[in-house]
Amino acid sequence: MKLPIYRIALVILLMLTITGCSLLSGQGTGIFLPSPGGTEEQVDEDLKRSRQPKIPLTDGFDFPVGNRNGAGWAVTGYDFMQWSNYSNSWHPGEDWNIPGVGNGDWGELVYTIANGVVIFSGWNTALGNIILIEHHLPNGDKVWSQYAHLDRRMVYKGDTVSRRQQIGTVGRGPENRFAAHLHFEIRSQPIPANAWPRTAGHPWVRSRVLEYWIHPSNFIHSNRP
């Protein structure tokens, strides 16, 4: 005996429902699908990669304070690779503020120097509020910019940022222990936000410091938009 057409359609629909199939192609749920036949470790790595933000290429570098040329500001504190008696080490960055104003630049805006992604935004007992940003250059190189002693942080880990975006304000470090200024670094290696060129109280030799840190102003001047 032949079944009516509507009963055949009902049976087919029931079978599709049980097996989890769908008649609507391309209506995915957005669930990440790992590599076919991958091991558990490979699946974990695939999942991690799928959750990582896409880092935009840089289109040039600007200065982190003042206008895009850094006008009105200067390195008035410790300069790059100047010996610091305070930390008993080579100073791996530049200390920027407005000359002659004392703490008058406290709360002034800080900008990201280039397109990138925030990989750390948090507090450190030695440096205060810190933001660390990863930048991808068109030639395939990477650098990392760090902004420390901040009073406020306006971006958070995983945020994609654009050149000259406001990311924080100038502060005085933990417990306001410093005069207001921005401690600014550019790094050539992916080291932790609280990294400092000293181990167990002993300073690194100059050549080792230069393996991890770059002269900030020289790098920016060489990579203007």
Residue 64 included in any domain: no
pLDDT of res. 54: 82
pLDDT of res. 161: 98
For residue range 17-57, list pLDDT tens digits in order: 443 333 333 333 232 333 344 445 554 554 455 455 688 99
Report yes or no on whether pTM surpasses 0.85: no
Neighbour tally for 167: CB within 10 Å: 25
Residue 121 included in any domain: yes
Residue 33 included in any domain: no
Task: From 175, 190, 193, 185, select the one nearest 219 (Cα to Cα).
Answer: 185
pLDDT of res. 24: 32
Number of domains in the chain: 1
d(CA 72, CA 99): 8
pLDDT of res. 41: 55
Domain range enclosing 140: 74-222
Residue 59 included in any domain: no
Residue 192 included in any domain: yes
Residue 145 included in any domain: yes
25 Rama class: left (phi>0) / alpha (psi -120 to 50) / beta: beta
Residue 5: both structure tokens together: 């057409």
Residue ranges in the chain modelled with pLDDT below 50: 1, 3, 6, 11-39, 43, 46-47, 50
Beta carbons of 34 and 45 less than 8 angstroms apart? no
Residue 71: both structure tokens together: 């006008």
d(CA 195, CA 178): 19
Residue 39 included in any domain: no
Residue 5 included in any domain: no
pLDDT of res. 55: 85
d(CA 199, CA 101): 35
Phi, psi (degrees; rounded to nearest 5) at 207? -65, -35
Residue 208, H or E segment: helix 206-209
pLDDT of res. 38: 47
Beta carbons of 184 and 94 less than 8 angstroms apart? yes
pLDDT of res. 126: 92
CATH of the domain at 146: 2.70.70.10
